[in-house]
């Protein structure tokens, strides 16, 4: 009994020391992560292009296997951010943690422009997932070499690529009954997102087989200028595939008309039924 008691006492005495060591280790790793080592640069920083991806909440839920998982927060009325993804790079540095406090100053704007649309995932967990999988790779670029800087850049890009305004100005409005020629959608977006062949205007099929606008992928170079040519990384999509039966969509057929469903907060998985 005495020996057991002494053992517990020793552990209790060491615990604060171990805690301090652990905290210092995390701090050191976080600080060192601001500057990639030569080995890390060679392994993870060879990517040249990014895809800035925006999604339309009105049709996002159509691709879910379990439609009951979908939710659209009542304040969401516009296109939202899906992610900023370096090509051919994925989960580059798991040693770089992210905490909600890192994004405190951006929280209101992120909640409006980059919300989670899944009941099973809070918005912060969505952001955390994006940082670990994609932000840690984008951190090779000095302007994105911290969680705060990465998400600040994403918000600036969202303001730069105002798809809502571009479609509205072209007379393309959400509707359950009216569809639009693909050429009209493409022409409306080209002044904003460019006409680079790597731009992807994506659709998803609803239960009636209609082509429904769901997502736009915008190619960017490392300095965030429009246009970049690098073969797509097939593993770069951020969602677990088991969530979807058709998402993240496919290029909208150029010889087809495209529907632009309205956002339905009450029935997000059946916006037009």
pLDDT per residue as tens digits for the range 154-165: 999 999 999 999
Verify whether residue 130 is a known catalytic residue: yes
What pTM was estimated for this model as a whole?
0.81
pLDDT at 9: 38
pLDDT at 12: 41
pLDDT at 39: 60
Rounded Cα–Cα distance for residues 32 and 25 (Å): 10
pLDDT at 142: 87
Q: Tell me: cis bond preceding 248? Omega within 30 of 0 counts.
A: yes
pLDDT at 253: 96
The residue from 130, 211, 237, 269 that is catalytic is 130
In the numeric block, the tokens 């007379």 are attached to: 171
In the numeric block, the tokens 């990639």 are attached to: 36
Rounded Cα–Cα distance for residues 65 and 33 (Å): 38
User: CA dihedral in degrees (59, 250, 253, 228; nearest 10)?
Assistant: 110
Residues 6 or more apart whose CB falls under 8 angstroms from that of 228 comprise: 48, 49, 50, 87, 196, 198, 219, 220, 221
CA triple 151-161-175, angle to 5 deg? 115
- Cα 161 from chain centroid? 15
Tell me the torsion sign for CA atoms 268, 69, 250, 82. positive
pLDDT at 189: 97
pLDDT at 66: 81
Tell me the torsion sign for CA atoms 117, 118, 124, 125. negative
Verify whether residue 187 is a known catalytic residue: no
**Token digits for 116?**
């989670």
Residues 6 or more apart whose CB falls under 8 angstroms from that of 245 comprise: 63, 64, 65
The residue from 4, 32, 109, 134 that is catalytic is 134
**Token digits for 187?**
């022409």
What are the pLDDT digits (tens) for 21-50? 333 333 333 333 444 555 655 567 888 999
Residues 6 or more apart whose CB falls under 8 angstroms from that of 154 comprise: 52, 81, 84, 114
Verify whether residue 100 is a known catalytic residue: no
Residues of the chain whose pLDDT is less than 70?
1-43, 230-248
pLDDT at 33: 44
The residue from 32, 35, 42, 82 that is catalytic is 82
Task: Give, as one character, the DSSP assignment of residue 70.
Answer: B
């Amino acid at each position: 009994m005495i020996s057991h008691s002494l053992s517990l006492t020793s552990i209790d005495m060491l615990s604060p020391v171990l805690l301090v060591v652990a905290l210092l280790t995390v701090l050191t790793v976080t600080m060192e992560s601001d500057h990639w080592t030569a080995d890390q640069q060679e392994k993870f920083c060879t990517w040249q292009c990014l895809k800035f991806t925006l999604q339309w909440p009105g049709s996002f839920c159509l691709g879910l296997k379990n439609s009951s998982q979908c939710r659209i927060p009542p304040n969401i009325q516009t296109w939202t951010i899906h992610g900023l993804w370096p090509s051919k790079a994925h989960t580059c540095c798991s040693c770089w943690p992210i905490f909600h406090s890192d994004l405190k100053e951006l929280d209101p704007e992120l909640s409006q422009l980059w919300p989670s649309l899944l009941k099973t995932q809070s918005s912060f967990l969505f952001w955390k997932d994006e940082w670990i999988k994609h932000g840690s790779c984008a951190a090779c670029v000095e302007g994105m070499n911290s969680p705060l800087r990465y998400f600040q850049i994403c918000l600036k890009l969202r303001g730069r690529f105002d798809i809502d305004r571009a479609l509205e100005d072209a007379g393309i409005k959400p509707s359950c009954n009216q569809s639009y020629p693909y050429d009209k959608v493409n022409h409306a977006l080209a002044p904003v997102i460019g006409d680079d062949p790597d731009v992807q205007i994506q659709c998803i099929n609803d239960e009636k087989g209609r082509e429904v606008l769901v997502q736009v992928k915008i190619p960017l170079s490392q300095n965030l200028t429009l246009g970049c040519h690098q073969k797509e990384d097939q593993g770069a999509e951020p969602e677990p595939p088991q969530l979807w039966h058709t998402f993240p969509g496919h290029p909208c057929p150029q010889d087809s008309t495209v529907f632009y469903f309205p956002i339905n907060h009450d029935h997000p998985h059946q916006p037009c039924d």
